[in-house]
Each structure stands twice: as C-alpha cells, then as structure tokens.
Amino acid sequence: EVEPGRRGGSSLFGKYEIGRVLGCGAFAKVYHARNLHTGQSVALKVIQKKRLASSSALLSNVKREISILRLLDHPHIVRLHEVLATRTKIYFVMELVKGGELFARVAKGRLSEDVSRGLFRQLISAVGYCHSRGIFHRDLKPENLLVDDSGNLKVTDFGLSALGAQVRSDGLLHTLCGTPAYVAPEILAKRGYDGAKVDLWSCGVILFVLNAGYLPFNDPNLMALYRKIYNGEFRCPKWMSPELKRLINRLLDTNPDTRITVHEIYRDPWFNKGHTKRPEDA
C-alpha cells in the first residue's frame, strides 16, 4: 500500500507529485499533480473511503462502475486516467482542466444567450453520450462544470455520484443525493427515479442560472426550498427570449414523464438557433 510520502517541499503519492489544491467538493479534495514518469500534469481527486455509502458488498459494483467510467471518451467529459486505492482512500487520476469552474464565470454576471447556448450544447452532448451508455451524473451543477483554456465546457464527476447509490431491479436509483438547489422534484418525493430525467432537470436549472445569474429555486429555509422545487415555483426574468423561456419550462417540468428528453432537445428552436449541425458525438 502506498501512502503519500515527502520529497522536497511536496508530497508524493506513488509516481505522482502532489501540488496545490484545485478545489473541494462534498466528498473530495482535488489536487494539482504531476506524473513523474511522463511529466504530465493531472488532477488528483482524493476520496476518504469512509465517506462513501458503499459497503464492501457494493465494492464489485463500484469496480464495475469505474471500469465503465474509464471507457468514457468525449470532448466535454473530464477523462479518467487511472484509479488507485489505499486502505483508507481512493484516488482518481483525471485530466486536468485549467480554466476553473463555470460557477466562477456565472458569479461575475449572467451570460449572453449565444454564449450560454454554446455551453449548453456541449453539456447536452456530454449528457446524451453518457445516458446512451446507461451512465447518469445525478449531481449536475455549475461547480461540476469546468471550463478549459479555450472556453470549452468539461463535465467532471460523471457517474461518480452513482458509486454510493443503490440501483434496484426496476432500474430506478434510490439514494437521496445531489445538491438541493439542483435536485428534481421526484427525488424529493422519495419515489424511485430515472437518472436521465433528473439529469435533465438539473440541466434546466443550469440553463436558467447561466442566463439569469441566479437560481430559479432559492430559499434560506430548506423546507421552503423543497416546496418550491416540488411545486415547480419559479419565474423566468423578462430579459430571456420566449424561445429560451419555453425550453427552460420544458426542462423544469415537475412531471418526469412529460419532461423534455435529449432527443427532443436536439429539435428545440432555441437550442438550434444559429447552428445547422448537432453538437459533436450526439
């Protein structure tokens, strides 16, 4: 078992030299790291095993899941290079994305409809690619969307949130997870839910945030927030075009059965404005 060692001023983990912290999430800390054999810079995500819901009985599921994630190869999904483990921690060696979180860009102010359309098309292309392979994100939010040097979107954490999840024989996921503001109403209802539908709800919240500069559902009181989500209580700001409002309303449909699908999004007028082709790898 390899535990981080020291070399000069920096820590070592096997062949990786660990540098500064890139970010923190609910489960993990992510470090800048360098592969000493190849010189390649990577992002190293470290998860404490005790923070994973998975018991040892689920370990084979986790391993199967990781082997699927390693096969994901899409221009808008952060590449997973390698997974390493010690007794207490799991290390995900990932493609390094240099531009930071999309969240930071939105925090500076809302984006134009053209800029957000470009990003949203990349997001849907990544989401559609994974869904067609039976992989769901379930924690889509601007903090998990990174932007590279050229302003392209890269989704991180894809599939990882399912590691602690239970999938029943009906194919519905049953763990309450995800971030409240982006969580779909059917999750709050604690019924089983469809991973594809909840991802599209979150895409609706993201599309709203990009164009509004604030959340569609927000309340300092958690129960009040849940009630707003459950009832689909939100209002699009007046500066949004009617086409954009329509798409947001189709995504934030509280009924998962009538909510817009990826295939329908590809035919949406706002989504296609100014574009003649589908996004890459649709």
* Enzyme catalytic residues: 139
Give the CA distances from residue 119 to residues 11, 112, 153, 248, 279, in Å, rounded to whole numbers and listed in that order. Answer: 36, 11, 6, 15, 11
State the minimum distance, in angstroms, from the CB of residue 122 to ligand ADP: 16
Q: Which stretch binds Mg ion (CB under 5 A): 8-16, 69-77, 93-101, 153-161?
A: 153-161
Binding residues for Mg ion, how many (CB under 5 A)?
3
Give the CA distances from residue 271 to residues 252, 263, 266, 280, in Å, rounded to whole numbers and listed in that order. Answer: 16, 12, 7, 14
Nearer to ligand ADP, 165 or 248 (CB): 165
CA distance 22 to 59: 28
Q: In 10 A of CB 81, how many CB atoms?
A: 15
Chain-centre distance for alpha carbon 136: 9
State the minimum distance, in angstroms, from the CB of residue 116 to ligand ADP: 19
Handedness of CA 60, 64, 65, 67 (dihedral sign): positive
Strand (E) or helix (H) holding 28: strand 28-35
| Binding of Mg ion by 25 (CB under 5 A) | yes
Note the residues at the interface with ligand ADP (CB under 6 A). Answer: 22-28, 30, 43, 45, 78, 94-97, 101, 143-144, 146, 156-157
Q: In 10 A of CB 197, how many CB atoms?
A: 20
**Residue 23 interaction partner, one of Mg ion, ligand ADP, none, beta carbon < 5-8 Å per kind:** ligand ADP
| Binding of Mg ion by 144 (CB under 5 A) | yes
State the minimum distance, in angstroms, from the CB of residue 86 to Mg ion: 22
Nearer to ligand ADP, 113 or 157 (CB): 157
Nearer to ligand ADP, 79 or 110 (CB): 79
Nearer to ligand ADP, 143 or 253 (CB): 143
| Binding of Mg ion by 161 (CB under 5 A) | no
| Binding of Mg ion by 202 (CB under 5 A) | no
Nearest to 45 by CA among 7, 97, 1, 2: 97
* Residue whose CB is nearest to Mg ion in the complex, by number: 25
